[in-house]
Chain A
Amino acid sequence: MALEAYVIHLLILVGIYIILAISLNLAMGFTGLLNIGHVAFYGIGAYTSALLALNLGVPFWLGLLVGGLIAALFGLLLAIPTLKLKGDYFAIATLGFAVIIENIFRNWISLTGGPLGLPGIPKPSLFGFTFSGFSYLILVAFFVFLTYIIIKHITDAPFGRVLKAIREDELATSSLGKNIVKYKTQSLGISAFFAGIAGSLYAHYITFIDPSSFTILESILIISMIIVGGLASMKGAVAGAIILVLLPEPLRFLPLPSFAIGALRQMIYAALLVILLIKRPQGIFGEFSLKKES
């Protein structure tokens, strides 16, 4: 029974990270936006939905939607000052954005509870049925499926082909009369929306959130997932999320203090990222790799 609960827990986490990886892949893999701040949208979704439920008694379903929308709004806001920036400057600006948001979670104590976080977030319920354990897994699986279908549809549509064209050659695409900034903004907004949904799913599953779940380390983890799977690959993002969530799990069974397990996890992720970047930057299923802009 305990084993079953553990497996369900892992699968729920895998599902949440699949949504995060697929959504980041839309911005980073398909559009070429080197976003290191994806975790901020995840956190905004989680905090929005948790605060709505705790302070106003808003049901999960509405909170989830609003969480996604507020995250998307921040995505659009972030796009305004940053989209004109080149590669690594954009990356650093998004990193800065994530640090600012995390600082707000940590310091706006009257709203977010600061470092102590927000406990007692209610589990979702529908007609008197409360989702937890296996039924929560089904719920997450449903949203994973929805996210996958929608983003797959977006990237296969003409809209998605324009995004890829922007990634490959911005100048050429704009000379074809496409409004680059508009497309990039929309891509970042949609990407942020789904990260917000993932945040809400996380908050109502764990029922407790604090700023430590939304540090820049999480962003690097999500980026690693899509690099492992391969940029701009739907299958890759899913595979990457599964591999990276499960990979450090055996550590849990080592007789080590929790800080040491955390440290080893961090080292494994970091080493995997660096080795992949050197040996196989296109990942498992990747269709392109980040080569030098000439």
Chain B
Amino acid sequence: MENLLQSVNFLFFLFLLIAMVATQLFINGIIAGAIYALMASSFSLIYNIVKFMDLSPGALFVVSAFSAYVFNVLFGLNFFLSLILALIIVSVVTIGINKFVYKPLRNKNANNFILLLASFGVFLFITGFILLIFGAEVKTFGLPIIKGYEIFGAIITKTQIILIVTSLVLFLFLQLFMKTTRLGKAMRALADDRQVASALGIKVEKTIAVTFIISALLAGIAGILVALEQNLEHAMGFSVVLKGLTASIVGGIGNVPAALVGGFLIGIIENIGIWFLPSGYKDAIAFVILILFLLFRPRGLFGTKTREEVSG
């Protein structure tokens, strides 16, 4: 009898432990997912409107984080001022990239692989520059470590809550912007058909520039959030832009709201996945999901594109 009681007790504790670990992994997945969702919307805005896979948001993510670090930590400026300055820098950089790289390529009728490759070049150039200036060692904002809140045995910090809420609020704003404002409508018209939009008097190049800025702001805010929550490294942008890309394909390309679902899904799956695999496999998990989706459901969960547009 006593034995039975003991084993029941043991099983109960085991169950509790598993539940706690699972909750923690789930929460970690939500936190990662919030970032991926931001990166996915950044990526899919450009993919839908300018029609190519752009990796430069990964670089802007890093530029933004390092700019905020310079203003806030090195120059001692107020955090919100640093944030705004960093976002201004990111906007200027993205306008520069569009003007000197993407626009000339568009004018030459470059196909979307050339644009993808060029964006890879831009990404490598900018991250190389950051490495040159700041070196390879990891930087941190040096926020005081505060004890997190406990939810069902899992820990979540204030920064992480801010991160999730910011991501959701930005997402909501983006939806409102796309649905209600003139510019947002122009962007959607461009996404549907560039020639018709142009014939209707929509300024194509201006709208594209705005698209790049909004995309850069999303990536920039994501970069600062990650820098606050973890730390800064010149190489931090690559994995995150790939997750954003994966999330937007899994959610369904051609459908910006789906990027949110895709982002959280990738975040949760990879964090549950490292329960079974070493954490170094996180990127691999995301890509296995991507390849599975491309194989079996190329239009993603909620995508509007038909199979023919993805595979030929």
Q: Which residue of B lies closest to A81 (CB)?
A: B295
Q: How many A-B contacts if CB must be within 8 Å? A: 144
> Which of B65-73, B106-114, B211-219 participates in binding chain A?
B106-114
Note all chain B residues with C-beta closer than 8 A to A107.
Answer: 277-278, 280-281
Q: Which residue of A lies closest to B310 (CB)?
A: A89
Q: Are A290 and B125 in contact (CB under 8 A)?
A: no
Smallest CB–CB gap between A276 and chain B, Å?
A: 9
Interface string of B111-135 (1 = CB under 8 A from A): 1111011101111110111011001
Chain A interface mostly:
helix
Query: Measured between alpha carbons, how far is A34 from B113 in the docked complex, in Å?
Result: 8
Q: Are B312 and A281 in contact (CB under 8 A)?
A: no
CB contact list, A224-247 vs B, under 8 A = 227
Tell which of A88, A89, A266, A269 touches B131, judged by Cβ atoms closer than 8 Å.
A266
Is B193 positioned at the interface, with any CB of A under 8 Å from its CB?
no
Note all chain B residues with C-beta closer than 8 A to A95.
Answer: 242
Please provide the 3 A-B residue pairs with the shortest distance between their CB atoms, ordered closest to farther: A96-B287, A266-B128, A270-B125
Interface string of A76-98 (1 = CB under 8 A from B): 00000110111111011101110
Q: Are A281 and B121 in contact (CB under 8 A)?
A: no
Q: Are B284 and A223 in contact (CB under 8 A)?
A: no
Query: Measured between alpha carbons, how far is A265 from B132 in the docked complex, in Å?
Result: 10
Q: Are A87 and B112 in contact (CB under 8 A)?
A: yes
Q: Which residues of A contact B (CB under 8 A)?
A: 34, 36, 81-82, 84-89, 91-93, 95-97, 99-100, 103-104, 106-107, 170, 216-217, 220, 223, 227, 257, 259-260, 262-267, 269-271, 273-274, 277-278, 281, 290-293
CB contact list, B260-310 vs A, under 8 A = 277-278, 280-281, 283-284, 287-288, 290-291, 294-295, 298, 309-310
Query: Measured between alpha carbons, how far is A290 from B127 in the docked complex, in Å?
Result: 26
Is B105 positioned at the interface, with any CB of A under 8 Å from its CB?
yes
Smallest CB–CB gap between B286 and chain A, Å?
A: 8
Other CB < 8 Å A-B pairs besides A99-B284, A277-B114, A290-B110, 8 of them? Answer: A85-B311, A89-B294, A92-B53, A103-B280, A106-B280, A216-B238, A274-B118, A277-B105
Q: Which residue of B lies closest to A219 (CB)?
A: B120
Tell which of B112, B120, B136, B242 touches A99, judged by Cβ atoms closer than 8 Å.
B242
Q: Are A270 and B122 in contact (CB under 8 A)?
A: yes
Q: Which residue of A lies closest to B124 (CB)?
A: A270
Note all chain A residues with C-beta closer than 8 A to B288.
Answer: 100
Q: Are B245 and A92 in contact (CB under 8 A)?
A: yes
Note all chain A residues with C-beta closer than 8 A to B129.
Answer: 263, 267
Note all chain B residues with C-beta closer than 8 A to A36.
Answer: 120
CB contact list, B154-196 vs A, under 8 A = none
Given A85-B294, A89-B298, A270:B113 Cβ within 8 A? no
21 A-B contacts (beta carbon < 8 Å):
A82-B294, A84-B312, A85-B310, A85-B312, A86-B310, A86-B312, A92-B245, A95-B242, A96-B290, A100-B288, A107-B277, A217-B124, A259-B135, A264-B128, A267-B124, A274-B121, A278-B108, A290-B114, A291-B110, A292-B109, A293-B111
Query: Measured between alpha carbons, how far is A206 from B295 in the docked complex, in Å?
Result: 38
Given A82-B294, A266-B124, A277-B118, A103:B111 Cβ within 8 A? no
Query: Measured between alpha carbons, how far is A96 from B298 in the docked complex, in Å?
Result: 15
Given A82-B294, A100-B284, A107-B278, A273:B128 Cβ within 8 A? no
Query: Measured between alpha carbons, how far is A286 from B116 in the docked complex, in Å?
Result: 20
Given A103-B284, A270-B121, A293-B111, A86:B309 Cβ within 8 A? yes
Is B88 positioned at the interface, with any CB of A under 8 Å from its CB?
no
Note all chain A residues with C-beta closer than 8 A to B109.
Answer: 291-292
Is B209 positioned at the interface, with any CB of A under 8 Å from its CB?
no
Is B26 positioned at the interface, with any CB of A under 8 Å from its CB?
no
Smallest CB–CB gap between B277 and chain A, Å?
A: 8
Q: Are A271 and B121 in contact (CB under 8 A)?
A: yes
Query: Measured between alpha carbons, how far is A223 from B109 in the docked complex, in Å?
Result: 20
